[in-house]
Amino acid sequence: MALQSSGVAFRRILSHFPEELSLAFAYGSGVYRQAGPNSNQKNAMLDFVFTVDDPVAWHSKNLKKNWSHYSFLKLLGPKIITSVQNNYGARVYYNPLILCDGRLIKYGVISTRALIEDLLGWNNLYVAGRLQKPVKIVAMNEDVTLRSALDKNLRSAVTTAFLMLPESFSEEELFVEIAGLSYAGDFRMVIGEEKMKVRNIVKPNVAHFRELYGSILQEDPQVVYKSQQGHLEIDKSPEGQFTQLMTLPKTLQQQINRLMDPPGKNRDVEETLLQVAHDPDCGDVVRLGLSAIVRPSSIRQSAKGIVTAGLKRSVIYSSQKLRKMWKGWLTKT
């Protein structure tokens, strides 16, 4: 995989946490420069996700090392923390606004099993969505199943984007579509996040997206990829679209089926996807399917954040997000 390796600064931060990680990565504006009014954030908060095989054991060790990172839930112990992590929101537990090694960080903890399920099935398209954009890999073990799932997530992102694009398009248009998959229907894009966020992510990072997706595009038999010109052409025939629809992650297929299956018909997923493949609005149907995954997931995760972060940190964190949006709005007007 063409994910970015990381530097000493990230590994120094990682040294403050328990070592048992199957994957750790840093992402967001603190790692990759973004365009727009918030582009010059020299000390932007660093966002991390830590993937662990045994969340109870990991939180138990982390409570001993970093007791102050947790909200009141720390008083209930690692089993309750893990229960909140696994059973609510997008199955990730965030501690925001933590001062670590001189930098302000936010870190999320997800079980390896939950991550693999999200990468393959797009149950929540939450952490899987972050891994569809360039990230800095800080630590990674030799888990073949996890590595395979990471690759499948990228391939699914390409296929989904193809279904929402015309027959001919630029590299940048493809990457904007991919970067926007996990924001489809996300309420934070209206409340708290800049509406131009997706383009701001892609524009300064086209080379990083190319590194992430270049080999997948070269290998894909359904695309003509002219990498020198940064241009692509795809098969938009019903047959081509049906092939793509049949390879989509399971949850997205189910949401499309739910949207398109008339009451009382109870058609199977394949029959519905065949109908969608012949529909001129195929791309819009796929987009609605994505929204049906992302919207409830983002709302539940944000609500869960009030509990896991604690009220004070939640208010500070939310106000920072709103300030970024307000700054973006003032720049445009």
* Tens of each residue's pLDDT in the chain, 333 residues: 334 445 888 999 999 999 999 999 999 888 988 887 666 666 678 999 999 999 999 999 999 999 999 999 999 999 999 999 999 999 999 999 999 998 999 999 999 999 999 999 999 999 999 999 999 999 999 899 999 999 999 999 999 999 999 999 999 999 999 999 999 876 666 544 555 889 999 999 999 999 999 999 999 999 999 999 999 999 999 999 999 999 999 999 999 999 998 776 778 999 999 999 999 999 999 999 999 999 988 888 877 777 776 655 555 545 555 455 444 444 444
Say if residues 257 and 241 touch (Cβ distance below 8 Å): no
Predicted local distance difference test score (pLDDT) of residue 35: 82
Identify the CA nearest to 144 among candidates 257, 25, 48, 22.
22
Angle, alpha carbons 292-298-301 (nearest 5°)? 135
Predicted local distance difference test score (pLDDT) of residue 267: 84
Identify the CA nearest to 155 among candidates 227, 79, 213.
213
Alpha-carbon dihedral angle through residues 127, 258, 242, 265, given to the nearest 10 degrees: 160
- 144-163 and 206-219 helices cross at what angle (nearest 10)? 90
Q: Where are the domains of the chain?
A: 3-331
Q: Look up residue 164 and give its amino acid.
A: M
**The pTM of the whole model exceeds 0.75:** yes
Q: Which residues of 210-228 are buried (b: 16+ CB within 10 A; e: fewer)?
A: bebbeebbeebebbebeee
Predicted local distance difference test score (pLDDT) of residue 242: 98
- For the chain, what is the total number of helices (H) and then of strands (E)? 14, 9
Predicted local distance difference test score (pLDDT) of residue 310: 64
SS3 117: helix
Predicted local distance difference test score (pLDDT) of residue 287: 95
Alpha-carbon gap, residue 55 to 93, rounded angstroms: 10
Identify the CA nearest to 25 among candidates 99, 134, 113.
134
Identify the CA nearest to 259 among candidates 247, 276, 243.
276
Place of tokens 């131009």: 196
